[in-house]
Structure 1
């Protein structure tokens, strides 16, 4: 498969030149098995200009100190838990941390209600198991076991979606840095450089809470929603441009429409208009930055394939209504009230008002 056919390259593929440039000028101490020093990892995440004028694009737009805390955690014997509401770039940061530190972001356990213990420990090739009995050749290592053997970072996405008994398989791994294999009367000991980055969704509290024993083995970093509208517009603009290139959508000037979507999302999230004059009801959904990116990207696809190529209110309306109204009854009332009391009153938003009314 050629690079041109890959819809979404891994971070270490997409930003290989930046990682190479950082490594070439990075003279700070590196922990064992790390591809870059902690300082260079943070530069990779938040962006920098190198001495040779090479531009490192920001992957995370927000507090540098927050990224420093996250990276410093991974340089200790404690794992890292990225916590936050949906759409706060937890998975995105996790992937880029693994790419910058280990050069490999693919050692991933995707947490679901059906995630089995084999995904965290190891499984078996049952054909070989039946033919030759328990052996190293019949064993199928999990991403966590592979990371331990190679001194790399393993990623566990949506940790609180994983059943509690499966979560607890991580306790020995994190505390003793070993993974027992009783069937072979042996164990896998972690090589220096091994650690785990987990993510958890704030909205999943009460689903499968972490035990006190497991939580103690993580340093928790809470990723907040973007602090300002300007930051959120920058994030959406950058990600929409990246997605547009990968989806072969033509570049278009959409800053005004991006700012409008961000304004709608931020006002409904906070329950108050940006001028502070009108209190609003908030919908049941999170209206995250990730959803704003999706609304804009969908609008660009509509404009490209069914319009004149310019993103406007008509292309945004369907996506934004679908993002806001998750509960047809309760959210429908919230959206209708917002349209009439806020959108309709903004003179330069008339096109958006009528486009949303038409979609509803």
Structure 2
């Protein structure tokens, strides 16, 4: 695809709906990075659709988003580059037939984009195995003695990595590896209406797959999204500062909560969800990382929600006693 086509593929246009809600400037910068053969690193809070963006970019650029490396503490270098079929290795020795290509090997040989999820969760020695690949665009296979001992990257090969800001300190990248990436930060959705529309659309799709024909009312979802935004940003609707939660209050979490509210209402009461369900679901979301967040959430319900106008807000405040430890 051309750069303009990639942008339309992701953000929509000419009758096609958007696949992702984000800044057009972010998409343009990411496309230019990939077009100039620089590796791309998407960073941001968990739940800001970094993985989805990397998947869409890979699909648009190379027609394949399946060459994926999932980072983690147990990841090894052979899972990134290549391994061996040990039965063939014993019988034939190190041959091309015995070699088992991993995503990086395939991406270089086929000229495709490789996705590296949660790169900072990998051991440093695994991260640094990318240095020669990103610098020289070549992968050495020293076990082979033929021309196949060196794999030169074809045009189209590149790497899109992701790292969330909460885990970047687990195994922070070396300065040498950082220099080989262009960093782009993916921020939460800026506009309330855009975030509300996304939560409404995605939760409805999840509810249909769960056998729930009706999504929560838009007024309930608006209160849910507003609560998430205020607890995430630390400001209320009037712009006044308030306590923010240390837990991840992302759009993805809001979609998951809207799904849970719809399931709860449909199967337990026969309705499409109520404001009281928001309180009970918030307890599990807010207290994941820090027990103090539960106290902050109680103060939010007592001090902020109590002053809001509207039936759903009043129902939410009336259900505050459901917020149990």
Q: Which TM-score applies when normalising by structure 1? A: 0.84
Which residue of 2 is the match for residue 296 of structure 1? 258
1:170 aligned to 2:116? no
1:39 aligned to 2:4? yes
Task: Please identify runs of 4+ aligned residues in structure 1 that moved more than 4 A.
Answer: none
Between the aligned partners of 1:310 and 1:223, the Cα distance in structure 2 is 32
Which residue of 2 is the match for residue 12 of structure 1? none
| Distance apart, 1:345 and its partner CA | 2.7
Q: CA RMSD in A?
A: 1.7
1:94 aligned to 2:32? no
| Distance apart, 1:317 and its partner CA | 2.6
1:149-202 deviation line (CA, Å, top 9, x unaligned): 111111000011111100011111111111100011311111111111110111
Could you tell me whether the CA contact under 8 Å between 2:247 and 2:288 is conserved in 1? yes
What are structure 2's unaligned runs of at least 5 residues? none
1:34-70 deviation line (CA, Å, top 9, x unaligned): xx11110110111101xxxxx2111221211110111
Aligned residue runs from structure 1 range 337-348, under 5 A: 337-348=299-310
What are structure 1's unaligned runs of at least 5 residues? 1-35, 50-54
1:224-270 deviation line (CA, Å, top 9, x unaligned): 11112222212222322333344443143532122111111111122
Aligned residue runs from structure 1 range 1-360, under 5 A: 36-49=1-14, 55-185=15-145, 186-252=149-215, 254-277=217-240, 279-327=241-289, 329-348=291-310, 349-360=313-324
Structure 1 residues 327 and 188: alpha-carbon distance in aligned structure 2, compared to 1, 3 A threshold? closer
Could you tell me whether the CA contact under 8 Å between 2:298 and 2:320 is conserved in 1? no
Could you tell me whether the CA contact under 8 Å between 1:300 and 1:315 is conserved in 2? no
Between the aligned partners of 2:176 and 2:207, the Cα distance in structure 1 is 44
Larger deviation: 247-256 or 265-274? 247-256
Could you tell me whether the CA contact under 8 Å between 2:247 and 2:290 is conserved in 1? no
Could you tell me whether the CA contact under 8 Å between 1:151 and 1:191 is conserved in 2? yes
Equivalenced residue count is 319
Q: Which TM-score applies when normalising by structure 2? A: 0.93
